[in-house]
């Protein structure tokens, strides 16, 4: 596990990924990631996966620094803790 990378999800979600979403595993998982620094639980699962795949394909030290500092700001501001439908995040049920 690394500090920056897509957040690990529950193993039971693996069969629910589409082919594109599996690319989030092309990099090591992390304590915080691009999706967490760009909305946390306030973004949809579809958007989270898009951001995780984007991160895996655009991995760089500059992106990692951006994610690190954005995460600190979001945590301090307490942004994106809840989704629109849940106190945290609803279960991932796959693609529509």
What would the mean pLDDT of 13-31 be, rounded to a whole number? 93
* pTM for this predicted structure: 0.82
Max CA separation in the chain (angstroms): 35
Between 87 and 39, the higher pLDDT residue? 39
Average pLDDT for the chain: 87
Burial of 67 (0-12, 13-18, 19+ CB in 10 A): buried
CA distance 22 to 53: 8
Instruction: Give the tens place of pLDDT for each residue, 48-76.
Output: 999 999 999 999 999 999 999 999 998 88
pLDDT at position 88 is 61
pLDDT at position 93 is 83
pLDDT at position 96 is 58
């Amino acid at each position: 596990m690394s500090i920056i990378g897509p957040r690990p999800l529950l193993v039971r979600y693996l069969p629910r990924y589409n082919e594109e979403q599996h690319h989030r595993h092309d990099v090591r998982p992390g304590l915080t990631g691009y999706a967490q620094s760009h909305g946390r639980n306030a973004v949809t699962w579809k958007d989270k996966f898009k951001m995780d795949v984007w991160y895996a394909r655009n991995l760089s030290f500059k992106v990692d620094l951006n994610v690190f500092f954005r995460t600190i700001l979001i945590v301090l501001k307490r942004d994106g803790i809840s989704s629109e439908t849940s106190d945290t995040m609803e279960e991932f049920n796959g693609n529509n």
